[in-house]
Structure 1
């Protein structure tokens, strides 16, 4: 799992061969993918501590995820 210092790459702009308009350069996707079942560990709710706040990730009866503060 990435630490709190990890960041997504920032796209740089390169001139477009068409009209000289800058276009985003190709970036590498460094996002981490975690299955929700692994997070919830068989439960229906997960508490997440972030920046001194507590968030609740909840799995609904309709199999939707809801994140609330």
Structure 2
């Protein structure tokens, strides 16, 4: 008795469609310089949590809890 090879076909995964994100109006944008006000790092209170917004030496913004 010999084992017969079995061919497996990948199943197609169907995910629900997400609506496309709406672009934000540029007029509503807040300049990062206005937020940071010359500082490299600020704390932002949102509800009962505090977040840290940091401007890196690579000119990136990092937001952490």
Does TM, scored on the shorter chain, surpass 0.5?
A: yes
With the length of structure 2 as denominator, give the TM-score of the two structures.
0.58
Flag as ranges the 4+ runs of structure 1 deviating above 6 A.
Answer: none
Q: Is 1:58 matched up with 2:54? A: yes
How many positions carry a matched residue from both structures? 44
With the length of structure 1 as denominator, give the TM-score of the two structures.
0.54
Matches within 5 A, 1:1-69: 32-69=28-65
5+ unaligned residues in a row in structure 1: which ranges?
A: 1-23
5+ unaligned residues in a row in structure 2: which ranges?
A: 1-18
Aligned-pair distance for 1:30? Answer: 6.0
Once superposed, what is the RMSD of the aligned Cα atoms?
A: 2.3
Q: In proportion to residue count, which structure has more helix? A: 2
